[in-house]
Chain A
């Protein structure tokens, strides 16, 4: 059996996926922290332990993401876009559009019927279009990031926000708390703001069904529902949306090994 690995060192979370040929056998997700090199080693080690393997069993490792270069044990690096495209195609072969809501950027990709990206857009260096926005708001409302989604779905009276900027949204949220708005209504309003940004990106690229949503932001069911509402279509959602780029990196590794050897 040939084993390959994919590792994605993101700005917020690091992920590793171990595959036995083209089957996923283990994965790990952990916060990236302040030392990417150390995190890269830890995340692959954890994933390998789950798989009952060690680094020397891995034929090829591909790294991607913000800190790809920190995974010094990897055989090569690949761009986030090509890894995402492969990961999404593996999970949802019918997907022609993919939205990745990461910590640093939101990415929108168009895919062809061979699972290759044919066009893509990234949000600019601005927290308002990315998962970072949710972290900021969770801190202001003093709730766990994981609880945001479910809580926001309880909203009966969505607050509307005037700003698209994360910094201003933070202060706007603070004012709404002072006015006595419910947390769920604030969250629902912020989800709408973020979803609207993402919708604009999708519209610029042109949506083609099926559309998948991946990345850490896709863990937030409230946000996913808000994007679905805006786009007027259902989104394909993987069981673990955070590992899709790492999965794609492992698939790049598997392509290398299977074609090269």
Chain B
């Protein structure tokens, strides 16, 4: 990260968020190769270990989806279509390649569209399985080894165990910093707003991991130094959903008289709370993290026992967040045609209500045009919380 004044702290996070991709654009000029990827389920450790810079593709709720609609039907979720639309409109012209994990069907089944339309020097699909059992893990490890080989063919350099272990440890340091950041949200009122956290974390996946860690660390220091500057608000909200890579929705809640103090989102707690263990075969630790540790609706977790045991296995972490972050109410923010999260809604809602938190379920289209409709529902929800 450049060392000049103002390259750290909240102001810098804001700038990297607003001018998304500005850091990798600089690195590209310095001769670095940039690999775009979709979704938190891409094993970025392997890309970094290959000496490449992983860059998360981001959408834009303010940009109407136009070009993407010529290649993707509207049954593809609006977030994926916005990502693709931004890519087609030249926003990510610096990319040398694209990596797509089989996160959900909207992502994996559009792989060929991404590959053939963007026509980048490198494209790869990691067809990861959907179950967490032994054979699935074994299969997934084989896929990760194929990915490792494919990347080393692209760079012409072998990816050593040592460089993988180094990347794992850099990413784990980064995740530990995010967890430290979340501690600042536990105070009442929180020391850092939900919008500030969202912008920082979104910015953090647009730059090399070491730089992201420094940026997060600088924000933690700045926030601790400024102390309790945020006003008291009547409600503490947790947002649960798939990927929210735009701050508009978080702003909307915070402008309506609440603080967003916790989340189960990407980029957010779901993405950063679990480390990859350093294992003898580094691929083992990576596979465990992405297939078994990240609790995304796209992964099916079979659990022996009754339905309550299943709910605890699948959503227990949400319950723990509600308790640890003293959450008053949970907003389920689900995009239209998001199959993994859409399918989960009834179970998720009943689980969250069973631990005592009221739930507002909102279905959205990843577009600014729906904001007015969402605002009245959020206001009504906050009033309901206030009248309890």
User: Are the C-beta atoms of B388 and A82 separated by less than 8 Å?
Assistant: no
Residue of A81, A124, A125 near B384 (CB, 8 A) is: A81
User: Are the C-beta atoms of B383 and A118 separated by less than 8 Å?
Assistant: no
- From 356 to 388 in chain B, residues with beta carbon under 8 angstroms from any chain A beta carbon are 358, 363, 370, 373, 376-377, 379-381, 383-384, 387-388
User: Are the C-beta atoms of B380 and A82 separated by less than 8 Å?
Assistant: yes
* Complex Cα spacing A117 to B387, Å: 8
Chain B interface SS verdict (over half): helix
* Complex Cα spacing A120 to B329, Å: 14
- Shortest C-beta distance, A60 to chain B (Å), equals 18
On chain B, the residues within 8 Å of A119 by CB distance are 358, 384
User: Are the C-beta atoms of A112 and B387 separated by less than 8 Å?
Assistant: yes
Residues A80 and B376 in contact in the complex (CB < 8 Å), given A119-B358, A124-B363? yes
On chain B, the residues within 8 Å of A124 by CB distance are 363
User: Are the C-beta atoms of A81 and B380 separated by less than 8 Å?
Assistant: yes
On chain B, the residues within 8 Å of A117 by CB distance are 380, 383-384, 387
On chain B, the residues within 8 Å of A82 by CB distance are 380, 383
On chain A, the residues within 8 Å of B387 by CB distance are 112, 114, 116-118
With an 8 A cutoff between CB atoms, is A58 at the interface?
no
User: Are the C-beta atoms of B373 and A79 separated by less than 8 Å?
Assistant: no
With an 8 A cutoff between CB atoms, is A30 at the interface?
no
- Shortest C-beta distance, A223 to chain B (Å), equals 24
Q: Which residue of A has the minimal Cβ distance to B388? A: A118
On chain A, the residues within 8 Å of B381 by CB distance are 120
By the criterion of a CB under 8 Å from any partner CB, how many residues of chain A are at the interface? 14
On chain A, the residues within 8 Å of B370 by CB distance are 125
Q: Which residue of B has the minimal Cβ distance to A67? A: B372
Residue of B358, B363, B383, B388 near A79 (CB, 8 A) is: B383
With an 8 A cutoff between CB atoms, is A122 at the interface?
yes
On chain B, the residues within 8 Å of A125 by CB distance are 370, 373
Residues A118 and B384 in contact in the complex (CB < 8 Å), given A79-B379, A124-B363? yes
- Shortest C-beta distance, B48 to chain A (Å), equals 41
* Complex Cα spacing A80 to B379, Å: 9
Which of B358, B381, B384 has the most chain A CB atoms inside 10 A of its CB?
B384
- Shortest C-beta distance, B357 to chain A (Å), equals 12
User: Are the C-beta atoms of B380 and A120 separated by less than 8 Å?
Assistant: yes
- From 230 to 281 in chain B, residues with beta carbon under 8 angstroms from any chain A beta carbon are none
- Shortest C-beta distance, B69 to chain A (Å), equals 19
- From 240 to 261 in chain A, residues with beta carbon under 8 angstroms from any chain B beta carbon are none
Residue of B363, B373, B384, B388 near A120 (CB, 8 A) is: B384
- From 116 to 141 in chain A, residues with beta carbon under 8 angstroms from any chain B beta carbon are 116-120, 122, 124-125
- Shortest C-beta distance, B374 to chain A (Å), equals 11
Instruction: Report A's interface with B, CB cutoff 8 A.
Output: 79-82, 112, 114, 116-120, 122, 124-125
Q: A112-B387, A117-B387, A119-B384 are in contact. List 16 more A-B contacts (CB 8 A).
A: A79-B376, A79-B380, A80-B380, A81-B380, A81-B383, A81-B384, A116-B383, A116-B387, A117-B383, A117-B384, A118-B384, A118-B387, A120-B380, A120-B384, A122-B377, A124-B363
28 contacts between A and B (CB under 8 A): A79-B376, A79-B379, A79-B380, A79-B383, A80-B376, A81-B376, A81-B383, A82-B380, A82-B383, A112-B387, A114-B387, A116-B384, A116-B387, A117-B380, A117-B383, A117-B384, A117-B387, A118-B384, A118-B387, A118-B388, A119-B358, A119-B384, A120-B380, A120-B381, A120-B384, A122-B377, A124-B363, A125-B370
